Chains A and B, each alone.
Chain A
Amino acid sequence: MRNAVNVRSVSKWFGAGESRVNALRKLDLEIRIGELTMLMGPSGCGKTTLVSVIAGLLDASEGELEVLGERPAGMPANQQILFRRRNVGFVFQQFNLLPALTAAENAAVPLFIAGRRQRDAVAEAEAMLAELGMANRSHALPGELSGGQQQRVAIARALIHDPRLVVCDEPTSALDAESGHSVMSLLTRIAVRADRAVIVVTHDNRVVEFADSIARMEDGHIVEVERKRS
């Protein structure tokens, strides 16, 4: 099985001198394509930093990172943005939907950024929302949606441009157990594909059943990788 992400001896620190904080310490990890990998660990162990580095939102301080066969660290800034725009989808803990846009418009934002015509992009987003069981709520504003519905809009936004890597940061932490289960179930059904890797950062033990692999972190290290599929 091919790897979507290869992390080799990656460190990330913030600040310098005595105030330096080591968030990642010579960390190694392989994320397989076609799988949903969960990144678990206590608060402050470096999960969010690791996923930010993998998604290209932060540069590693040292080490090697390969994402979808490319080395984003070696790319010029604009090319990094373009790589991220084309290949990475995001689901955020707090959804980060634009409150003034409807559900369909929010889901269409990555297509807007890519320069697609508004009408075409929104039509595509409506189809995606229908697939996520939100057909009758596509014209609602985020404020009119429940937490679970907002997260489904966020999932639609993460998948609308057909990325090969989907990064989800605590997608269930703002939801109740039932909604969380429902969101993870949807994510597994819609997002996981043979040509795509899904990384879910979570400390929610209720959703581990959806994982194909679980990487456990502590103090900036991967301490255990559990693969449910060989």
Chain B
Amino acid sequence: MARIGQDRMRGWRLDAMDFVAIRMLTGDRGKYLGLVFAIALSSFLIAQQSSLFAGLMNRTRSQIRDVAEADLWVMDRATQYVDEVYPLRDDALYLVRGVPGVKWAVPLFKGQAVARTTDGRFRSLIVIGVDSASLTGAPRKLIVGSIDSLREPDAAIIDLAGYHFLFPGQPPRLDALLEMNDHRVRITGICDASPPFTSAPVVFTRYNQAVNYLGRQRTQMSFVLAKAHSGVSPAEVARRIGAATGLRAVSGAEFGWMTILYYIRNTGIPVNFGLTVLVALIVGTVVAGQTFYIFTLENLKQFGALKAIGATNWRIVRMILLQASLAGAIGYSIGMGMAAAFFEVSSRKEALRQMTMPWQNMAGAGVLVIVIVCVSSLISIRKVLKLEPAVVFRG
């Protein structure tokens, strides 16, 4: 009895029978590699697709993330996300500035415009009009030029990927020219902005110029960016702005999530990525489960012999769990390596820049691999537990 108890008491310190389990697993190279490959491919697809989805969703809020100076984004209550803006009346800026707790408030313009390059090509681009005085909302990471250059006539700063898009094959240089709505635009800076959802170039310019690039409307201010006084929480200031102006005031993080959730709810993107992840999970589970089950079936006589010789059911279960866990761990590691290699290579492509594999996605893939391993081993465990050791006497 004492020895039987020790099977459990030894816990998970590897012993000679664990070594036997590992040798049994790796001894059949074909099935072992098939099992590992199924889990590797499955975990790769799960991590890669979910990370691409996360990266894509992150891009929907890139223009929000790039504004670091403001605590609050003030917008029309009808505005649901950053790409569909209901313009504010000009007096909204002054109303916000008048709310107690607001340290400063500046206008921000965001719109879509069409630009013509000097070689005659037309391109759609995102125009961000920043406060002409403070330049709040302008990009902070300049590759060429300076932020202050925005104060010059016709000046605009463009993101690097947008520059390559508009001026293919040309090295980054200043004073390149564009034309928008019959207005001359002079590139005075090239910045490293977060990549937008649509991959369109992002052009930063002064608020008044931005308005001219799109053509005047009766109302045109997209947002008011506001900063809370120290000692007053941004949440409290947001509440006061809402009460005083009837507008919606939210933090950048909240607005970012509003935008992401809008895309999740109103586009087929999550369904497409979700389906791929689901298929990867199902295929991984089925292939790994079937391979492991066949592996167990082929070793059934050996397991029966071990039971006859005196191995307890717990010992056999432990052997199977160890085999499945080892295959899972190796498959998961290979899968994560493949996914990391994918993002390392793809990050060099401008269209996929800043697409990364967050640790949360790696952990999620790990959890799903554990599910695959558990399901795979459960079927085999059931078979082995029901196995009568007397089976070894049947030739």
Contacts and interface: CB of A to CB of B under 8 A. Distances in A.
B65 interface: no
Interface in B351-395: 388-390, 392-395
A190 interface: no
Interface of A: 48, 51-52, 55, 57-58, 78-79, 81-82, 84-86, 90, 92-94, 96, 98-101, 105, 108-118, 121, 157, 169-170, 173
A109 B394 CA distance: 21
Contact of A96 (B7, B24, B392): B392
A109 B20 contact: yes
Contacts of A110: 309-310
Q: Which 10 A-B pairs have the closest CB atoms?
A: A100-B27, A85-B310, A112-B16, A96-B305, A118-B16, A57-B390, A100-B23, A52-B390, A78-B4, A48-B393
Contacts of B389: 57
Nearest to A157: B309
B393 A100 contact: no
Interface of B: 1, 3-4, 6-7, 10, 15-17, 19-20, 23-24, 26-28, 301-302, 304-306, 308-312, 315, 388-390, 392-395
Contact of A115 (B6, B27, B388, B394): B6
Contact of B308 (A55, A79, A93, A98): A55
A78 B1 contact: yes
A78 B17 contact: no
Given A96-B301, A170-B395, A81 B310 contact: yes
Given A52-B393, A90-B392, A99-B27, A81 B312 contact: yes
A94 B309 contact: no
Nearest to B315: A113
A112 B16 CA distance: 5
A58 B391 CA distance: 10
Most buried by B among A78, A116, A169, A170: A78
B393 A169 contact: yes
A112 B20 contact: yes
